[in-house]
Amino acid sequence: MGGVPAAREALGILTFLASRPGPVGASTLARELELPRSTTYHLLAELLAADFVVHLPEERAYGLGVAAFEVGSAYLRHDPLERLARPLLTRLVEQTRETAQLGILQGNETVYLLKEQPRSPLTLVTDVGVRLPAHLTASGRAMLAHLPAAQVRALFPTAATFTSRTGLGPASLRELRETIRVESQQGYAEEHGLVTAGYASVAACVFDHGARPTAAVALTFSADVDPRRRARLGGAVVAAADALTGRISGRRPA
């Protein structure tokens, strides 16, 4: 085996194991990755020796080892999402002269990780570390639109979960589903005065390698912006979100 093919095949095993909910047998690995059985066992032996894979003899299967966990933990410690997103948000602010933010979904809340502002910034409640109800924020709904219906239902199980800040926004699961359906077809989410009266936002979803929602890029601006400019700002967040999706090796859902 040449060095490059062997590395590619070993990475294929790790990626496959990471995508499965539990340990996998060597025969399944060989079949799914279209590898010769001898090659599969040789690669597994090397990965075992380096602690990237662990063997479970009672189950006759293999799972990810501690070295894979350590690599993943190091990735998280280096704040890769924020590092990769910051230059894109800076460029977005230069392009639009509006406030740009990066948010993620935690439970049924939007948590803001980054905020880039123009020279004359708006005074916003949203800041790094702030949590807001996801159904009220453009960032939150941009991500909710790409979750399975059952997961959205689990995040908003009762009417009490549909809190309001300004008296506006979805007040039921049916209203939320209809809102995110329309926004999904539009390509980006938008809110007008749901978080703070007098302000509006547009946001687009960022996807991981499995086409799952992982973050959202948003712009916040005065609510009196005319519809044509609002549509241009929507296009700008879609472009920035797509660029970040590419930077994290993600892909849009089919």
Does the reported pTM lie above 0.85?
Answer: no
Dihedral angle, C-alpha 232, 98, 200, 127, nearest 10 °? 140
**Structural fold of domain 3-74:** Arc Repressor Mutant, subunit A (1.10.10)
Q: Which two tokens stand for residue 113?
A: 């990780």
Alpha helix segments (H runs only) across 147-226: 149-155, 173-186
Distances in Å between the alpha carbon of 123 and those of 9, 13, 40, 221, 238?
Answer: 51, 49, 58, 10, 24
In terms of C-beta density within 10 A (0-12 exposed, 13-18 middle, 19 or more buried), how is residue 137 classed?
A: buried
CATH of segment(s) 79-247: 3.30.450.40
| Integer Cα distance of 107 and 162 in angstroms | 13
Q: Rounded to 5 degrees, what angle do the CA atoms 98, 212, 20 make?
A: 155
Dihedrals φ, ψ of 152, to 5°?
-60, -40
φ, ψ for residue 57, nearest 5 deg? -60, -35
Between CA 123 and CA 49 the distance in angstroms is 55
pLDDT of 1 strictly over 60 = no
The predicted-structure confidence for 165-179, as pLDDT tens digits, reads as follows: 888 889 999 999 999
Q: Where are the domains of the chain?
A: 3-74, 79-247
Q: What is the pLDDT of residues 122-179, one digit of tens each?
A: 666 666 778 899 999 999 999 999 999 889 998 998 988 898 888 888 999 999 999 9
Rounded average pLDDT over 60-78: 73
Average pLDDT value over all residues in the chain: 88
| Cβ neighbour number for residue 12 with a 10 Å cutoff | 16
Q: Which residue has the tokens 């996998």?
A: 24
